[in-house]
C-alpha cells in the first residue's frame, strides 16, 4: 500500500530496456504421442479416443499409419508432400485465405524415420466428404492437416523486452514481447479461431525505450491468491511418461510413442 501511495501521480522512468530477438522453430509433424497430447489439450480427448479415431481414418485410407514414433517423412516424399499441401490449402475450411510458401525440406529426414513415417493425411482426403465424418474424426483430421502446414511454415520471430522502471525510488520490472514475423503462428491461430479456442493476445504496440519518462502514474493495489499446482491431464501425463528418466530430452533423443 505504501508503494502505491509513494508512486501515485509521480513520473516514472525506463532505466533499462533489454531487447532480444527470439526465434521459435515450427513444430514437427505428429507421431502418435504428440497427436494424442494435442487432441487432449485442444479437445479434451483421451489418448484412446484419439487412437481409435485415427485408426478408423487409417482404415478409411484418409491418414497414414498411426502407430508411429517418427516425426519426419522420408527424403523421397518431398514432391508428394508439396502436392498434399496444395490440396490441403484448398480443402481445409480453416485454411481459407491462407498464403505461405511451404518449405518441405523441414520435414524430410530419412535417418529419423523408423518403421513408419509421421502421421499425415493422404490424397484420398481430396475426394472425401469431410462433413460426413464423425465429429471426433473430423477434428483429428483437421489437427493432422494443420500440422503439415505449420511444420513447413516459417519460424515465429519476436522481440523480447525486459524493462527496469523506477518511480520515486521504487523499482519495477516489465516484460513484453512484440511479433516481428508471425510465421507458423498464423496457421495455428487460424485453426484455433475455427474451433473457438482462445488465442494468445498480442501485446499492444510497444513505445518504450531506455530514458523515456511516463506519467503521472495511476497506482493501485490489487489482491491475488496463489494457485495449487495443476493436476495432470492426459497431455501432461503423456509428456511426463515420454520424458521419464530423461529431463534433458532433445529433438535428437530417441523417443518412443505410447499406445
Do residues 126 and 171 both lie within one domain? Answer: no
* Active-site pick, 30, 58, 65, 72: 65
- Whether 38 and 140 share a structural domain: yes
Q: Say whether both 37 and 107 belong to one domain.
A: yes
Nearest to 26 by CA among 118, 107, 111, 101: 107
Assign 63 to helix, strand or coil. Answer: strand
Q: Is residue 222 part of a domain?
A: no
Can you name the residues that pair with 172 across neighbouring β-strands?
A: 165
* Domain-located, residue 227: no
3-state helix, strand, coil in the chain (%, to 5): 40, 15, 45
Let me know whether 167 and 70 are in one domain: no
Helix residue ranges per DSSP H, 44-134: 47-59, 78-91
Query: Would you call 65 a catalytic residue per the annotation?
Result: yes
Q: In angstroms, rounded to a whole number, what is the distance separating the alpha carbons of residues 258 and 47?
A: 9
For residues 123 and 164, membership in a common domain is answered with no
Report if residue 129 sits inside a domain.
Answer: yes
* 93 in a structural domain: yes
Question: What pLDDT was estimated at residue 252?
Answer: 44
The CATH number given to whatever domain includes residue 126 is 1.10.290.10
Whether residues 92 and 206 fall in one domain: no
Residue 64 and residue 98 in one domain: yes
Q: Are 74 and 133 members of one domain?
A: yes
The three cell numbers locating residue 76: 523421397
> CA torsion, points 117, 118, 122, 128, in degrees to nearest 10?
150
Q: Are residues 202 and 106 in the same domain?
A: no
- CATH number of the domain within which 175 lies: 2.70.20.10
Same domain, 145 and 41: yes
The Cα 120–Cα 91 span in angstroms is 15
The whole model's pTM is what? 0.79
What is the three-class DSSP state of 255? coil
* Residue 234 belongs to a domain: no
pLDDT of the residue at 158 = 92
| 239 located within any domain | no
Please give the chain's pLDDT, 259 residues, in tens.
677 777 777 888 888 778 899 999 999 999 999 999 999 999 999 999 999 999 999 999 999 999 999 999 999 999 999 999 999 999 999 998 888 899 999 999 999 998 999 999 999 999 999 999 999 999 999 999 999 999 999 999 998 888 888 888 888 888 888 889 999 999 999 999 999 888 877 666 666 667 777 777 777 777 767 777 766 666 566 666 555 555 555 444 434 333 3
Q: Which domain holds residue 82?
A: 27-153
Q: Is the Cβ–Cβ distance between 104 and 85 less than 8 Å?
A: yes
| Within a domain: 253 | no
d(CA 216, CA 159): 27
CA dist., res. 126 & res. 91, Å (int): 7
Domain match, 40 and 13 both: no
Helix (H, G, I), strand (E, B) or coil at 129: coil
> For the chain, what is the domain count?
2
The answer to whether residue 120 is domain-embedded is yes
> Do 88 and 125 have their domain in common?
yes
Cα 203 to Cα 21, 26, 101, 194: the distances in Å are 15, 21, 26, 22
Amino acid at each position: 500500500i505504501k508503494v502505491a501511495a509513494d508512486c501515485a501521480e509521480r513520473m516514472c522512468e525506463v532505466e533499462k530496456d533489454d531487447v532480444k530477438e527470439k526465434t521459435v522453430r515450427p513444430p514437427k509433424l505428429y507421431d502418435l504421442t504428440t497427436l494424442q497430447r494435442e487432441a487432449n489439450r485442444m479437445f479434451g480427448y483421451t489418448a484412446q479416443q484419439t487412437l481409435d479415431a485415427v485408426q478408423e481414418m487409417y482404415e478409411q485410407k484418409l491418414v497414414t499409419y498411426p502407430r508411429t514414433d517418427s516425426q519426419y517423412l522420408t527424403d523421397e516424399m518431398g514432391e508428394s508432400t508439396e502436392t498434399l499441401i496444395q490440396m490441403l490449402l484448398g480443402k481445409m475450411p480453416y485454411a481459407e485465405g491462407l498464403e505461405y510458401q511451404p518449405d518441405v525440406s523441414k520435414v524430410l529426414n530419412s535417418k529419423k524415420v523408423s518403421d513408419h513415417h509421421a502421421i499425415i493425411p493422404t490424397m484420398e482426403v481430396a475426394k472425401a466428404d469431410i462433413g460426413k465424418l464423425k465429429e471426433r474424426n473430423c477434428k483429428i483430421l483437421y489437427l493432422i492437416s494443420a500440422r503439415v502446414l505449420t511444420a513447413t511454415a516459417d519460424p515465429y520471430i519476436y522481440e523480447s523486452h525486459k524493462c527496469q522502471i523506477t518511480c520515486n525510488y521504487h523499482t519495477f520490472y516489465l516484460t513484453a514481447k512484440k511479433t516481428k514475423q508471425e510465421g507458423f503462428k498464423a496457421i495455428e491461430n487460424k485453426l484455433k479461431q475455427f474451433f473457438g479456442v482462445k488465442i494468445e493476445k498480442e501485446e499492444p504496440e510497444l513505445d518504450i525505450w531506455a530514458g523515456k519518462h511516463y506519467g503521472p502514474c495511476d497506482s493501485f493495489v490489487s489482491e491475488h491468491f496463489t494457485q495449487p499446482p495443476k493436476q495432470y491431464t492426459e497431455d501432461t501425463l503423456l509428456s511426463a511418461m515420454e520424458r521419464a528418466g530423461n529431463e534433458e530430452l532433445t529433438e535428437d533423443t530417441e523417443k518412443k510413442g505410447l499406445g
